[in-house]
Amino acid sequence: MKETARYSEKKILVLGLAKSGVMAASLLHKLGAFVTVNDMKPLSENPEAQGLLEQGIKVICGSHPIELLDEGFELIVKNPGIPYRNPIVKGALDKGIPVITEVELAYQISEAPFIGITGTNGKTTTTTLIFEMLKAGEKSPLIAGNIGTVASGVAEKATADDSIVIELSSFQLMGIEEFRPEIAILTNLYDAHLDYHSSRHEYAEAKAAITKNQLASDFLIYNAEQEAVRLMAARTEAQLVPFSTEGKHEKGAYVENGAVFFRGDRIIGIADIALPGKHNLENVLAAISAAKLKGVANEAIQTVLKTFYGVEHRLQFVASIENRKFYNDSKATNILAASKALTSFEEPVILLAGGLDRGNEFDELKPAMKNVKAVITFGETAEKIERISKEIGITNIKRVDNVEKAVPAAFELSNEGDCILLSPACASWDQYKTFEQRGDMFMEAVHKLN
């Protein structure tokens, strides 16, 4: 960890706990700051806050009192999930008090360079692929952010010989000041999180912040197929490294003659890549670009790509039973994500879909369903998904109570060579606490078929 006195004897408010808030508060306390923690959860139900209290950190729980702004704080470290319309956050900014997220704190203390990955979709898969490739290439990677350990906890232990591979959300990137990744990646840009951001423009600008501090010695890997991303890339000072599944880009990664190339060097045949789908091929291109910039040998990259079957709950290969392949895509909590999953397969698909009804119809899913031979529905949206299935001529439709019952129902309808895909196109909260729980129930039901 870099030695720093910048926080010594400064009054700092950590707003919101969870893992990142706990780590930020503890770190700032070690750095000599006068830390106050404020969290909505009552102290009696808040073991994290109780632990900080035992460290001698001031803790205020149960509400976000606006009067905190009268205490003369010089900095606020905000939990990324707390929106900027929160009265304390808004009031702090009006008073000129800087508001950062824990990622910025991690950068300020880190001896290791960062490889930062953001975008609407593909962040987790790309981050994991890069980590695995660097590990296979013996490049001493550490993984952090949304996918791994809290960034400041990783940065505290990292050395100059390490590289921190970090998945970054728009929420986190809105709270950076100096954060500068050695390699930044923009996977893609679609409308998302508009309930948090005031506009699509604000969301896009938050994503673009990943490259705002980069210099000419840094690299920006970007999706050259999307105009919005190309426009972002045009604003950077970093060296541009495009990737595309459509066109040849001599300065980056591309597809040609059934293989993936990086700057003219053939890396791997597409048929040898374990991850299915065009969207995953984009993730592969981005990851290869980062790995090659870090000097990873082709053989190490090939080993990872031939054996990596996906991140848990994200088009994750689960099992092959009697020549039926099962895939867990419980993370597909919206129509766009489910569409991407469906278009990944050329084989006949039995789709398991349904969940929380947020009021939207599912007509946008129809074009992606050309290989769907049967549909098993569940949850609040079952009727809506059945409607669009019938409208495109699917007659084999069955409604069940939940994901656990959907698996044997799908197996009964299947033939050899079919793919049975959980890609709900809906959030899970009508029946499950999280999409992870839903995916776990799916996988457990699949393994019971054996």
Report the binding-site residues for ATP: 119-125
Contact 9, 58 (CB under 8 A): no
Residue 253, phi-psi category: left (phi > 0), alpha (psi -120 to 50), beta (remainder): beta
Q: Point out the annotated binding site.
A: 119-125
Can you tell me the distance from the alpha carbon of 329 to that of 7, in angstroms, rounded to the nearest whole number? 43
Residue 209 tokens read as 């912040």
Region of residue 356 (phi > 0: left; psi between -120 and 50: alpha; otherwise: beta): beta
Tokens 């938050």 label which residue?
206
**Pairing verdict, β 58-61 and 163-167:** unpaired
The secondary structure element, H or E, covering residue 428 is none
| CB 33, CB 9: distance < 8 Å | yes
Nearest one of 322, 316, 253 to 282, comparing CA atoms: 253
DSSP, residue by residue, 294-342: TT--HHHHHHHHHH---STTSSEEEEEETTEEEEE-TT--SHHHHHHHH
Q: Taking each helix axis from N to C terminus, what angle separates 278-293 and 123-136, rounded to the nearest 10 degrees?
A: 40
Find out whether 350 and 374 touch, Cβ atoms under 8 Å.
Answer: yes
**Cα separation values, 105 from 16, 80, 153, 156, Å:** 15, 13, 10, 10
Q: Measured at the alpha carbon of residue 127, what is the angle toward residues 281 and 15, in degrees to the nearest 5?
A: 140
